[in-house]
């Protein structure tokens, strides 16, 4: 500890030094015999404690105190004012200016040593407090850093789970695209043949017109030419071709539109969710889009029965809600497909509705249901009853995070073993509520 004694009396300085030394405290003692010296020393050195006489030959001790408090705060340097003045006003003024304590002159050794001990104890606590505060600050910044990393990892996990779901669906989606593409290609081949025939007939007509325009042409040969073109029309079944072309074109257009729809959905599904944006969306639209992506996984084993409510709009992240719907649909389909002795198709009932606060979606299946002991665990990360390599157990925990943490809603499951499962989620319609819960 570094102590500065400010007093004009060498005798008092000696006395204080003596008392401090007798306490066997580890400290360096400095002295200033007037106010000016004291100010100079305080501005150039670090002290833990200043024992300050109020009555000094040059500057008043209170002025010195004022200076000390301008450069060092209350907790940093302890100031004990020493006064033989009986006036309480001086004492009050000292405390107003930032004195920590006072001692009356003549100084009694026991009084000074007890105050010094108290200060040492306080300084020690202060030191410990400062250390733990710094430690806490350091830990806090580590925590902030870790939270940011965790958030990053979580976002990455959500994205990679989505990509893995898309990966699982890829073969099915390819099949879904292949079907319309197949008939589009066939239609174009047929249209090409029709076109060749029509070109052939048009060419014959052109020749016919040239011949007609030729003055040397004899009237008797015109009849033959007409018959020739008519025969060609019959041979090519031109009536049928003309009727068939609009139909073929319509089918082709629809097929291409379907392909484009699937590709668009897939693109939107894969991309959205990355940007943390919420837009006003129709929940029914999101479900339809997801069904399009999952169609191939469902169509052979499952019949989907839909009952869409009206005005099921809310501010949502479209990709994220699509991901939740896809997770639940895939789970239901997988549960149904896993029933070995099932003979008929399974059913998935999708229902949406709303009230004044929430939009709701229920996806119910008539698969094997969920065992009671598992029901409370299915939303835990990595909880899966599927074989190794078949499920990561992340689908529902990510869905929970999306609905509860990112949209301020709720998600829950109702199930009885042997009687299928029902997954229900609700999302607040109110924009502000959704935004508020976003963090
Ligand atoms: N419709 C359902 N019917 C029966 N069990 C279900 C149903 N949905 C979920 N489960 C149970 O909940 C568990 C956890 O589901 P979750 O989607 O989180 O993971 P997963 O499907 O096993 O793996 P992942 O989705 O990561 O591929 C499943 O393993 C299954 O036991
Ligand atoms: Mg799953």
What pLDDT sits at residue 151? 84
294-303, 353-362, 412-421: which has the minimum mean pLDDT? 294-303
Instruction: Kindly state if the Cβ of 326 falls inside 6 Å of ligand 1.
Output: no
Cα first-last separation, the chain: 48
Q: CA-based Rg of the chain, rounded to a whole angstrom?
A: 45
* Lateral strand order in the sheet of 358-365: 302-307, 346-354, 358-365, 421-428, 410-415
| Confidence band of 433 (pLDDT split at 50, 70, 90) | low
Residues whose CB falls within 8 Å of the CB of residue 230, separated by 6 or more in sequence, listed in order: none
Best CA proximity match to 395, nearest among 155, 157, 202: 157
Q: In CATH, what number is assigned to the domain containing residue 21?
A: 3.40.50.2300
Question: In the predicted model, what is the mean pLDDT of the chain?
Answer: 88
260 has a pLDDT exceeding 90 = no
Alpha-helical (H) ranges within 214-237 are 219-235
* Lateral strand order in the sheet of 28-32: 28-32, 2-6, 49-53, 78-83, 101-104
Instruction: Kindly state if the Cβ of 393 falls inside 6 Å of ligand 1.
Output: yes
What pLDDT sits at residue 438? 47
Q: In CATH, what number is assigned to the domain containing residue 416?
A: 3.30.565.10
Q: Which residue has the higher pLDDT, 6 or 86?
A: 6
86-90, 145-149, 234-238, 305-309: which has the minimum mean pLDDT? 86-90
Q: Is the peptide bond before 423 cis (omega within 30 degrees of 0)?
A: no
Q: Report d(CA 117, CA 166) in Å as an integer.
A: 72
Mutate to test the pocket of ligand 1, among 334, 396, 398 (most ligand atoms within 8 A of CB): 396
Q: Which of 47, 82, 107 is the last residue of a domain?
A: 107
Please tell me the distance between residue 384's alpha carbon and the centre of ligand 1 in angstroms: 6
**Atom of ligand 1 minimally distant from the CA of 394:** 26
| 129 assigned to some structural domain | no
Instruction: Kindly state if the Cβ of 332 falls inside 6 Å of ligand 1.
Output: yes
Please tell me the distance between residue 335's alpha carbon and the centre of ligand 2 in angstroms: 10
Residue identifier of the C-alpha nearest atom 27 of ligand 1: 391
pLDDT digits 0-9 by tens, 373-399: 999 999 988 889 988 777 778 889 889
Q: Which residue has the tokens 């002290």?
A: 47
Domain that holds residue 24: 2-107
Please tell me the distance between residue 355's alpha carbon and the centre of ligand 2 in angstroms: 29
270 has a pLDDT exceeding 50 = yes
Q: Which of 107, 136, 171 is the last residue of a domain?
A: 107
How many domains does one find in the chain?
2
Q: Which residue has the higher pLDDT, 328 or 155?
A: 328
| 256 assigned to some structural domain | no
94 has a pLDDT exceeding 60 = yes
What pLDDT sits at residue 295? 84
Share of the chain above pLDDT 70, in %: 96
| SS3 of residue 87 by DSSP | coil
| 226 assigned to some structural domain | no
370 has a pLDDT exceeding 50 = yes
28 has a pLDDT exceeding 90 = yes
342 has a pLDDT exceeding 50 = yes
Best CA proximity match to 61, nearest among 51, 73, 71: 51
Q: Which of 61, 84, 107 is the last residue of a domain?
A: 107
What pLDDT sits at residue 30? 96
Helix (H) / strand (E) containing 247: helix 238-271
- In our burial notation (b when 16+ CB lie closer than 10 A, e otherwise), range 205-219 reads eeeeeeeeeeeeeee
């Amino acid at each position: 500890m570094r102590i500065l004694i400010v007093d004009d009396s060498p005798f008092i300085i000696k006395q204080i030094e003596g008392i401090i030394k007798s306490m066997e405290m580890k400290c360096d003692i400095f002295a200033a015999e007037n106010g000016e010296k004291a100010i100079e020393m305080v501005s150039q050195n670090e002290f833990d404690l200043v024992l300050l006489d109020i009555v000094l030959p040059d500057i008043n001790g209170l002025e010195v105190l004022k200076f000390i408090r301008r450069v060092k705060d209350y907790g940093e340097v302890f100031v004990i004012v020493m006064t033989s003045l009986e006036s309480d006003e001086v004492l009050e003024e000292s405390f107003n200016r930032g004195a920590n304590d006072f001692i009356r002159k003549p100084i009694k050794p026991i009084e000074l040593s007890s105050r010094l001990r108290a200060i040492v104890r306080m300084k020690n606590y202060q030191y410990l407090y400062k250390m733990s505060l710094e430690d806490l600050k350091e830990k806090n910044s580590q925590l902030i850093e870790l939270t940011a990393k965790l958030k990053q990892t979580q976002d990455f996990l959500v994205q990679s789970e989505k990509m893995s779901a898309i990966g699982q669906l890829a073969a099915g989606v390819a099949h879904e695209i292949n079907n319309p593409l197949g008939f589009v290609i066939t239609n174009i081949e047929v249209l090409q043949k029709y076109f060749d025939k029509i070109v052939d007939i048009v060419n014959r007509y052109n020749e016919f017109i040239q011949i007609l325009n030729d003055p040397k042409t004899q009237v008797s040969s015109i009849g033959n030419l007409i018959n020739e073109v008519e025969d060609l029309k019959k041979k090519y079944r031109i009536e049928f071709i003309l009727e068939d072309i609009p139909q073929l074109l319509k089918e082709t257009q629809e097929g291409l539109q379907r392909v484009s729809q699937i590709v668009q959905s897939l693109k939107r599904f894969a991309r959205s969710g990355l940007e943390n944006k919420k837009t006003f969306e129709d929940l029914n639209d999101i479900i339809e889009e997801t069904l399009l992506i999952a169609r191939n996984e469902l169509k052979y084993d499952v019949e989907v029965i839909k009952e869409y409510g009206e005005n099921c709009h809310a501010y949502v992240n479209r990709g994220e809600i699509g991901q939740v719907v896809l997770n639940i649909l895939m789970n239901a389909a997988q549960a149904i497909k896993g029933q070995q002795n099932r003979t008929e198709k399974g059913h998935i009932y999708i229902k949406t509705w709303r009230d004044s606060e929430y939009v709701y979606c229920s996806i119910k299946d008539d698969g094997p249901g969920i065992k009671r002991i598992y029901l409370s665990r299915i939303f835990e990360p990595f909880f899966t009853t599927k074989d190794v390599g078949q499920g990561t157990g992340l689908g529902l925990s990510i869905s929970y995070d999306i609905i509860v943490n990112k949209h301020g809603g709720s998600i829950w499951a109702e199930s009885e073993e042997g009687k299928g499962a029902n997954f229900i989620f609700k999302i607040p319609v109110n924009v502000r509520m959704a935004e508020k819960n976003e963090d």
